[in-house]
Structure 1
Amino acid sequence: MRFALSFRAALAPMLGVLLAVAMQPATADEGTTVFADNSRIASIGGSITEIVYVLGEEGRLVARDSTSNYPEAAAKLPDVGYMRALSPEGVLSVNPTGILALQGSGPKEAVDVLKKSSVAFIEVPDRYDHEGTLEKIRVVGKALGVEAKAEKLVAETDAKLASAEKQTAAIKDRKRVLFVLSTQGGKILAAGSDTAADGIIRLAGAVNAVQGFSGYKSMTDEAIVSARPDVILTMTGGGPTISEAELFANPAVASTPAGVDRKMISMSGGYLLGFGPRTADAIRDLAVSLYGNQVQD
């Protein structure tokens, strides 16, 4: 009896640890590529939501983020917030069975919490080129268990992208384009390499006017003048709209070829920078705005 009592006493702490582990919620497998239950999906990222709709799988969506504003029907879904400022509580409040999130969603701390929750979390790569767009469609299709539908969309998108890229192949005088994200505080925040803006500028047959840094960076007046942009490209729908008057009131911008000719192009951010099913159309629209009738059908 004394041995039994001492054995129980020794075992008690171990049982406590095992019980505590057992009571912890199960964590999602970060290596998951297919949702075990795809009946209630939270879509984070405008291009992800758009792909789901084009695949005809929108009935699986129970929520979307604030960048998911196309197609218009997506606006009827609960909004869990901006994809780069997510709240784990907000995303999980819609009781999803899976979370489909575009790479770059954040903040990191929030995404880490979501990845450790019991809800399956699949991250979709976001590369700003032809192949990256096709990969995005494949990953979404596989996650939802509709790979055949996805491959059909991949083939259609591949052909459209190839056609759009060929439209500027013969143009020799390439425009230098400066993408301006914001002008808050009088500072020009421009897109460098490894950005969606840089990717779409290249696909449209132009040259990013700024080199030497990746991401978005505030530019000095000297750097703006040295960039010598022929065109300023801005977007709508992603924050305060940049007006032509405000942009060209900047002395540095005004002194560039774009400023002298007052050449500014503004396009919807989701359309221009989404890298989804509509990207071939965005490439053509941007190319036509840049080169007019030089663009070949």
Structure 2
Amino acid sequence: MTRGSIVLGRRSLLLALAAMAPTLAVGTAGAEADEPDRIASLGGSVTEIIFALGAGDRVVARDTTSSFPPEVEDLPDVGYVRALSPEGVLSVSPGLILAEEGAGPPETINVLKNANLPYFVIPDAYDRAGVVAKITAVGEAIGELAKAQALARDIDDRLQAAQARAAARGADQRKRVLFILSTQNDRILASGMGTAAAGIIALAGGDNAVTAFDGYKPLTDEAVIAAAPDVILMMDRGGDHGAAAAELVAMPAVSLTPAGKTGAVVRMDGLYLLGFGPRTADAVDELSSALYGG
């Protein structure tokens, strides 16, 4: 079989799945579900919110990024949230699909949106208001709006307090923080603006060291030196995405930055740090303490 025939076969399968599934309106915040069982949860923070609302027993499948609470890892894994297959998601016979904004690829999402079951897109924003909106949207989608509103109020209060503590810690001198997503092949892939990393750095009272672009992009050695981070922030994971601290600060460009000279590297669990869910207030406190002490 040729490569072209493989691609064509997959496309035909996607079209066939779409044709077999009668179209229903796609759910949005404001259209509350009738407490359906068998939830497929696609997105780590979405899954975490469902469990925080006491509805974890209704989740029948999760994506790879859903790793908290620990018991979710016993559930079927339907793939990485941005590289899903419709066959994998639909194979668990969900009664409701919740997907964080940005789930993909688009052809998979088109099939799932046209399946004969409710599909809800949960908005994602990287600030305090975004966390509140996300919790509320999940609660609406699963028929637990009252619980979600109560949880959202509690998280909002805790986040406001955590922000105030972070601002006090960094009042004398705000730290410049460089978030590095990976160092694969000795190339630094770093966060610019408009990312979860930029959002959590701001909440923790720091300044993102890279502001010239949005999203994640590779940095030249000159750009790393010019960013002049006081602290390097990374997710706590291994492999090509997580160089050891000693290796990281020994990289030629990094070694010339304030963070490289002092060995200031902070690592935190990825979902905890970047999920913008129920634990974000704790993550803000932990990160600001790591940046400023106290």
1:91 to 89, 92, 106: 89
* Structure 2, unaligned runs of 5 or more: 1-18
**Corresponding residue for residue 223 of structure 1:** 223
Give the superposed CA RMSD: 1.4
SS in 1 for 2:167: coil
Deviations 1:168-220 (A, max 9, x none): 22313000000000000111000011100000000000000001111100001
Give the whole-Å Cα distance in 1 for the aligned partners of 2:79 and 2:203.
Answer: 30
Unaligned runs of 5+ in 1: 1-22
Distance 2:68 2:184 in 1: 27
Pairing partner for 2:127 from 126, 129, 133:
129
C-alpha distance in 1, partners of 2:109/2:194? Answer: 22
Partner of 1:248: 249
Alpha-carbon deviations, 1:130-181, whole Å to 9, x = none?
A: 0000000000000011111001101110110000000022313000000000
State the shift of 1:119 in Å: 2.3
Decide which of 12, 20, 26 is 2:22's aligned counterpart: 26
CA contact (8 A) 2:32 2:142 kept: yes
Q: Matched residues, percent identical?
A: 53
Which ranges of 4 or more aligned residues in structure 1 deviate by more than 3 Å? 237-240
Equivalent residue, structure 1, for 2:15: none
Structure 1 residues 238 and 66: alpha-carbon distance in aligned structure 2, compared to 1, 3 A threshold: farther
Give the partner amino acid of 2:227.
Answer: A
Provide the rounded CA distance (Å) in 2 between the counterparts of 1:234 and 1:222. 20
**Which of the pair has the greater relative contact order for Cα pairs under 8 Å at 6+ separation?**
2
The equivalent of 2:188 in structure 1 is: 188
Closer, same or farther: CA 56–238 of 1 in aligned 2, 3 Å: farther
Larger radius of gyration: 1
Asked whether the equivalents of residues 167 and 204 of structure 2 are also in contact (C-alpha less than 8 Å), the reply is no
Change (3 A) 1:54 1:24: closer
Cα distance, 1:26 vs. partner?
1.1
- Tell me, yes or no, if the aligned pair for 2:64 and 2:81 is still in contact at 8 Å: yes
Aligned-partner SS, 1:210: coil
Deviates more, 1:259-268 or 1:26-35: 26-35
**1:176 partner letter:** R
Q: 1:41-190 to 2 correspondence within 5 Å?
A: 41-170=39-168, 171-190=171-190
Q: Distance in 2 between matches of 1:165 and 1:52?
A: 25
Residues 34-73 of structure 1 deviation map (CA, whole Å, 9 limit, x = unaligned): 3346111100011011101110011111100111110011
How much has 1:28 moved relative to structure 2? 2.7
Aligned residues: 271
Q: In 2, are the aligned partners of 1:50 and 1:68 still within 8 Å (CA)?
A: yes
Aligned-residue offset at 1:278: 0.3
